[in-house]
Structure 1
Amino acid sequence: MSYYIKQIKKNVWKWNNENGVFSVKKYPSEEQAEKIRFIHNKLQYIENPFVLPVMESPQLDFIIQPWFKGTHTVNYSNEEDRKAVYSLLTRLHKTNEIIAWEDSNVLFAFNLISKWQNRLLKMKEISFFVESFIGVKNTKMLLMYGDMALKDMKAFNMNDRTLLHGDVVHHNFLSDSSTYKIIDFDLAVIGPKEMENILWMHRVMSEIDYDISFLLNEFPMLEQVVCKHKAAMMYPNEMYREWLYAFALPVDRKQKFLDQLVPYTNKALTEWPNLCYNLSKL
């Protein structure tokens, strides 16, 4: 057997040694690594665990896990993957029935509306940058949708809180064709499951042409959440996050990202009025 360490990202390595193949991730602090260790130690002992175990490490700011072989990240344009990920999130959110996440001293409550208010303010600060790529009219429209959504947004019920993954992007869910796993709990928080359901639907919408009727036909159990939080569904969170990310990128990486972001934004803005109309009719 050949032994090696291969760097995957700035702080992630693939490690092949005499005991097998492992993922190694270095965290900025021991406290952040302890949060990951705590979550995995709780979840790996539930029935049919959907996380990978965490191995012993002499360095407390490192997390070592078995490498999930033969896997691919999920694709939200694929029905099977969408249903599998929603099932995983449902199982994750139900763990508050057996695990007292609220009693943890490493997990903190999440306020989605506050985060979205701050995100919109940051978008307004970089509006000059966005205008240079999609024009003044489209930029004003993009900001207007956020203002309108926040004005009408209903508060979430914070009494029934559970563990939220915090980053439901497709590449944080892996499949080896027979099972699915959740990875990367770096942004995990506690909060009502409805928050994460909405954030997940935001991620999915662009892959199904922003067709809310199609989504609710596939996931009728989400209709109650959507009807209660229509304004949250109208908040253009994905576009805001991507534009703020683009603004912060170094010059040598910015243009390549923008070549994808501009058409993505133009398509979303084209579909948004119809999305808002269909949501208002529910």
Structure 2
Amino acid sequence: MNNYIRQIKKNVWKWENENGLFSVKKYSTVEQAEKIRLIHQELQQLDTAFILPVMESAQEDFIIQPWFNGTHSVDYGSERDRKEVYSLLSELHETNRFIKWEDSNLLGQFDLIAKWQNRFLKMKEIAYFVEFYMGVEKTKMLIQYGEIALNNIQSFSNQDITILHGDVVHHNFLSNQKAYKMIDFDLAVIGPKEVEDILWVHRVLPAIDYDIYFLIHEFPLLEKVVLKHKEALMYPNELYREWLYAYALPIERKQKFIDQLIPYTNKALTEWPKLCYNLSHL
């Protein structure tokens, strides 16, 4: 067998050796790598099938895992992918019945409202940047939606505390049509299950034309969370994150990303009044 290594990202490599094909990821600190090892060790003891095992490594700041062959990132526009990913997340969250995740000093407590308040303030700071591409009126709308949501958002219960994946973007879930796997626990934290439910709904809504009725019909178990946290679903989290990311990009990559972000934002702003109306009338 060939022995080669190819860089995939700045700190990620694809490595083939006599034992097979692997992904290799270097972390900036040993503590970060230890966090990943801890999560996988705990989950492997439960014989969970939705993760890839972590291999032994002589270098403590590296995480090595088998390469998941023939895979692609999930598509939240696919009904099957949505249902499989939500099932994986539910299985992860339910591990709190067997593992006391809150006892780990490597997993921090997550405060969604504080994070969103900070994100909102950062968004206001770059409003001039957004105005350049979206115009004054649309930028005002974008800011106002966040402000209204934050002023009315309900606090989250401290019950049902569990591990949260922390980054439920589609490319952190892989499928080879036979199986689905969850990867990249870098941002894993502990917090209420309903927080990750909300963050996942935010990710899915653009793929289903922001149709909250469709979502509830497809995922009846989410109805309770939606009814309890309507204001959290009115917060334009995805738009804020993408514009803050665009602002921070180097100049040579900025315009290409913004060319895609503008129609995405226009679509969201067109659908947002209907989304808020439907949520308020549930």
**TM superposition shift of 1:45:** 2.6
Counterpart in 1 of 2:26? 26
Separation in 1 of the partners of 2:250 and 2:54?
Answer: 34
Per-residue CA distance 1:26-78 (angstroms, 9 max, x = gap): 00000000000000111123234210000010110000000011111100000
Separation in 2 of the partners of 1:45 and 1:178?
Answer: 23
Segment of structure 1 superposing worse, 45-54 or 272-281: 45-54
Structure 1: which amino acid aligns with 2:107? Answer: L
Per-residue CA distance 1:179-209 (angstroms, 9 max, x = gap): 1010000000000000000000000000000
Counterpart in 1 of 2:124? 124
Aligned length: 282
Structure 2: which amino acid aligns with 1:223? Answer: E
Structure 2: which amino acid aligns with 1:9? Answer: K
Counterpart in 1 of 2:230? 230
- Give the conservation status (yes or no) of the 8 Å contact 1:166–1:188: yes
Separation in 1 of the partners of 2:3 and 2:72?
Answer: 23
Change (3 A) 1:35 1:48: closer
For the residue of structure 2 that corresponds to 1:80, the secondary structure is helix
Q: How does 1:183-198 map to 2 (within 5 A)?
A: 183-198=183-198
Separation in 2 of the partners of 1:54 and 1:147?
Answer: 42
Structure 2-normalised TM-score? 0.99
Is 1:156 aligned to 2:145, yes or no? no
Is 1:276 aligned to 2:280, yes or no? no
Is 1:250 aligned to 2:254, yes or no? no
Counterpart in 2 of 1:111? 111
Separation in 2 of the partners of 1:11 and 1:96?
Answer: 31
**TM superposition shift of 1:158:** 1.6
Structure 2: which amino acid aligns with 1:113? Answer: I
For the residue of structure 2 that corresponds to 1:47, the secondary structure is coil
Is 1:15 aligned to 2:19, yes or no? no
Separation in 1 of the partners of 2:7 and 2:219?
Answer: 39
Separation in 1 of the partners of 2:195 and 2:81?
Answer: 20
**TM superposition shift of 1:3:** 1.0
Per-residue CA distance 1:126-169 (angstroms, 9 max, x = gap): 00000000000000000000000001100000232100000000
Q: How does 1:63-102 map to 2 (within 5 A)?
A: 63-102=63-102
Per-residue CA distance 1:245-271 (angstroms, 9 max, x = gap): 000000000000000000100110000
For the residue of structure 2 that corresponds to 1:37, the secondary structure is helix
Separation in 2 of the partners of 1:107 and 1:15?
Answer: 29
- Give the conservation status (yes or no) of the 8 Å contact 1:109–1:189: yes
Q: Which runs of 5 or more residues in structure 1 are unaligned?
A: none
Separation in 1 of the partners of 2:241 and 2:10?
Answer: 22
Separation in 2 of the partners of 1:234 and 1:19?
Answer: 49
Counterpart in 2 of 1:182? 182
For the residue of structure 1 that corresponds to 2:5, the secondary structure is strand
Separation in 2 of the partners of 1:81 and 1:180?
Answer: 9
Structure 2: which amino acid aligns with 1:61? Answer: D
Separation in 2 of the partners of 1:220 and 1:160?
Answer: 19
Segment of structure 1 superposing worse, 43-52 or 73-82: 43-52
Change (3 A) 1:12 1:164: same
For the residue of structure 2 that corresponds to 1:44, the secondary structure is helix
Separation in 2 of the partners of 1:162 and 1:95?
Answer: 7
Separation in 1 of the partners of 2:75 and 2:184?
Answer: 17
Structure 2: which amino acid aligns with 1:188? Answer: A
Q: Which runs of 5 or more residues in structure 2 are unaligned?
A: none
Q: How does 1:201-240 map to 2 (within 5 A)?
A: 201-240=201-240
Separation in 2 of the partners of 1:39 and 1:171?
Answer: 19
Separation in 1 of the partners of 2:25 and 2:111?
Answer: 28
